[in-house]
Amino acid sequence: MENGFFLRDNLEAHKEYECPDIVVPENMIKTLENVFSPVKMVLGLVNNEAYSKMWNIIETMIQSIIKLTATVHNYQGSEYCSGLLFGMHGSAMLVSIGKNILDMLDTIDSMKNKAAVESPALGKEEKEELGLMAVGYYAILESALRASLGLGIKEHQEKIGRLYETFSSIASMNPDSWMTNKLSWTDIAASSKENPVQASPYNKYHCTSWNVNQASAMILCNESLADELHIPIEKRIYPLASSETNHMIATIQRPNIIKPLGLELAANFILDLCKKNNLTANTFELYSCFPSAVQMFSKALGLKEEDIKTVTGGMSFAGGPLNNYMIHSTVKMLSDIRKDNNKIGLVTSVSGMMTKQAFALWAKNPLIDFISKDVTEEAKKLEIPIPLSELIEGKGIIIGYTTFIDKADKKPKAVIYITDSNGKRKVLISRDISIINNMGEEEWVGKEIHFKDKYLVS
C-alpha cells in the first residue's frame, strides 16, 4: 500500500509488477452514467461554475471509491497487488479531491470579486429609501408602465385589477392553490383590511404570497434511464430550449427601467428559435411576483392582452414561495402538457428586482434538440448603467414613483426616481402630504420637478 502512494501519478505502474488491472462492472458504469447525466444537465442550466466544480469533487469521489472497492472485491491478483492498487488509487483520489477543492475555493473567490466590481442589483440610495422588500421597486416600475400606456390612475387600477382577476379565477380551479376563493377586479383594486396598500399602486392581492406551506418536485433524467426505469412514454415531457441573462443593473440606473435589454435578448432567442423551427408556444406561465413583471414579460413576448398568462393562477393566489415557485409553475406546466399533448409551454422567471430573466420551453415530444443560450455578456456590452447624479440641488424629470407608509415612523412617504438636468439618475423622497395625495390622483411620471438634497421641493 505504501508503494502505491509513490506511484499515484502513474495509474498504469502496477503493470510493471505484473499485477492485473482492476475490473469495474459495466452495469455499474452504465448506472453511474445514467445518474450523472441529468445532474450535469441541470448544472448546465444553472450555469454556475462553483456548483460545477463542487459536482466534479463529488463525481471524482464516487468514481474513486468504486475503483478502490474493485481493488479488494473480486480482485484477481495477489494481496500485494491489491494493496499496491489500493494505495495508488486512494492516494490519487485524495490528491485529486484536494486540488479540486482548492480550485473550487479559488473559483468562489473569483466570483465574489467579480460580483463586487459589477453593478449591484440594488443601489445604495434605493436601498436606503425602499429597503430590501421588492414591492416598492416593482411599484415604481408599475408607475412607469402606466405612464408609457398613457393610462389615468383609475384606468390603470382597473387594468391590473382585471389582469389579476383572471389569475384569481385560474387559481380557484387549481387544486394546489394557496387561495381558492375567486376575487373580482374590484376586490383586488380596492384597498381594505384584508387587502391593505403595500406600495401604490399595489395592494396585498397584487403581491406574491410567500408565507405558504407548499412543495413540488420533478425528475430530470436522460432517455436511456427513463427506458430502464420503464417510465411510460405518455408521462415524458421534454425541454426544448432555455435562455437566460445574469446581467444586473440597479433599478435606478437602468437606461429604460421597464425594458431591460437582457430580457429582450433572452425573449428574442426563444421567439427566433420558435420561428425557425415552426414552433408556437401556446401555454404560458409568466413570472408573477407583481403585475409589472407579468406585463414586461408579456410585452417582450408580444402577447396580447387577452392571452392567458398563467397555468397556476400566479404567485398572489396559487402561492409564491420565492425561487421555489419556478419548480411549482414548471410542474403545473408539465402536468398540463401531459393532459393536452398539443400544448407547447413557456415558463419565465426572474431573480430579485426584475433581474436575471429566464425562459424555458417545454413540449410533449422532443421536437428539436435541446438548446440553451446565456445572453449575459451581450447584454452587459449593450446596456450601460446610467451614472448617479452628483447634484445637490436642481431640476429633473420623474421616471417612476411610489407612495407607502414608512415602517420606520408609520408616516406616508413618496420615493421618486428622476433623471436630472445632466441626464443622470437620482432617488428622491417626499413627506409632503399634499404631494403624496396628489400622486394618487394624477400622473407624476414625466413631470419636471425641483429638488434639494434628497427631497422633492416642487
Distance of CA 427 to the CA centre of its chain: 26
Question: What is the C-alpha separation between 301 and 379, in angstroms, rounded?
Answer: 17
Tally of helices (H runs) and strands (E runs) in the chain: 14, 12
Question: What is the C-alpha separation between 38 and 97, in angstroms, rounded?
Answer: 22
Whole-angstrom CA distances from 371 to 48, 157, 286, 329, 384 are 17, 40, 21, 21, 28
Question: What is the C-alpha separation between 148 and 144, in angstroms, rounded?
Answer: 6
- 425-443 burial: b if 16+ Cβ within 10 Å, else e: bbbbbbebeebbeebeeeb
Note the pLDDT of residue 115.
Answer: 45
Question: What is the C-alpha separation between 262 and 268, in angstroms, rounded?
Answer: 10
Record the cell numbers describing residue 278, joined without a space.
415552426
Question: What is the C-alpha separation between 455 and 435, in angstroms, rounded?
Answer: 12
The mean pLDDT of the chain is: 89
Residues 6+ apart with CB under 8 A from 253: 119, 123, 385, 386, 387, 388, 425
Note the pLDDT of residue 118.
Answer: 43
Domains and CATH numbers, the chain: 2-117 (no CATH), 132-382 (3.40.47.10), 387-456 (2.40.50.840)
Residues of the chain with pLDDT under 50: 115-119
Note the pLDDT of residue 3.
Answer: 56
Q: What is the DSSP track for 74-91?
A: S--S-HHHHHHHHHHHHH
- Nearest CA among 170, 172, 7, 184 for reference residue 83: 7
**Phi/psi at 358 (nearest 5 deg)?**
-150, 160
Note the pLDDT of residue 391.
Answer: 96
What is the end-to-end Cα distance of the chain in Å, rounded? 83
Note the pLDDT of residue 47.
Answer: 64
Note the pLDDT of residue 8.
Answer: 58
pLDDT digits (tens, 9 = 90+) for 81-131: 888 778 877 788 788 888 888 877 777 776 655 544 444 566 788 888 998
